[in-house]
């Protein structure tokens, strides 16, 4: 079901099926949206997919080994919760890979959700990395192998999130005046 913001983009269609029952379906009648600069967006989409996959690998690798950092609450909680913005960012990147034309709702997701989720991922991973460094400085001991793997993965996630955030203007969507709305497309 469409949210209230997007209800004007849909029109209800009523039809009678073979049994005589009234069937109601929503048809998208809003305009189509596309990338404002398709050439720059094409290369940015591939880079974002690579950065997103690398961020997942680094985040999961950082959490895998047993380390004192992951047992420290102010280090592990922000890093564990950073997987939510990473998942939202992944959903948007996959949406961008699938096609060129977008509905109003999908374009808003790309324009607003992607920059927000990459910024939150950057901040939470950076806070977790700073917490790991602070824990090492306060304890005064040399970090173990698990701590080094965690810090490498967390800092790599920070870099991937920052890079993704820097590409947000290349994937900006705008309304396409020349395209017709999609017919019989249910969302």
- pLDDT per residue as tens digits for the range 52-98: 999 999 999 988 887 877 778 788 888 889 999 999 999 888 888 87
Q: Bigger pLDDT: 56 or 38?
A: 56
Paired tokens of 95: 């949406």
User: Terminus-to-terminus CA distance in the chain, angstroms?
Assistant: 7
Q: Which of 42-46, 120-124, 173-177 has the highest mean pLDDT?
A: 120-124
Please give the pLDDT value at position 187. Answer: 44
Listed by start position, the domains of the chain span 33-175
**DSSP code at position 9:** G
Q: Please, what is the average pLDDT of the chain?
A: 83
Please give the pLDDT value at position 126. Answer: 93
Q: Residue 23's beta-bridge partner residues?
A: 15
Residues composing the chain: 187
Half-sphere exposure of 49 (CA within 13 A, CB side): 10
> What confidence category does residue 33 fall into, taking pLDDT thresholds of 50, 70 and 90?
confident
Q: Bigger pLDDT: 29 or 48?
A: 48
Domain 33-175 has CATH 3.20.20: no
Neighbours of 104 (CB within 10 A): 21
Residues 6+ apart with CB under 8 A from 86: 52, 55, 56, 59, 117, 121, 157, 161
Q: Bigger pLDDT: 154 or 9?
A: 154
Q: What's the rounded mean pLDDT across residues 96-107? A: 80
- pLDDT per residue as tens digits for the range 149-180: 888 999 999 999 999 999 888 888 888 765 55
CA-wise closest residue to 102 among 30, 11, 32: 32
Please give the pLDDT value at position 178. Answer: 59
């Amino acid at each position: 079901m469409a949210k209230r913001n997007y209800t004007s983009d849909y029109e209800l269609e009523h039809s009678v099926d073979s049994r005589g029952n009234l069937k109601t379906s929503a048809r998208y009648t809003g305009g189509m949206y596309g990338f404002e600069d398709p050439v720059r967006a094409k290369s940015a989409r591939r880079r974002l997919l690579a950065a997103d996959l690398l961020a997942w690998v680094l985040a999961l690798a950082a959490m895998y080994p047993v380390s004192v950092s992951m047992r420290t609450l102010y280090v592990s909680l922000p890093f564990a919760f950073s997987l939510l913005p990473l998942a939202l960012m992944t959903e948007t990147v996959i949406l961008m890979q699938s096609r060129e034309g977008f509905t109003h709702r999908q374009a808003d997701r790309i324009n607003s959700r992607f920059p927000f989720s990459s910024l939150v991922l950057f901040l939470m991973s950076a806070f977790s990395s700073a917490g790991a460094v602070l824990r090492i400085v306060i304890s005064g001991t040399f970090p173990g192998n698990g701590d080094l793997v965690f810090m490498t993965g967390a800092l790599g996630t920070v870099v991937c999130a920052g890079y993704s955030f820097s590409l947000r203007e290349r994937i900006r969507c705008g309304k396409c005046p020349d395209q017709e709305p999609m017919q019989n497309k249910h969302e």
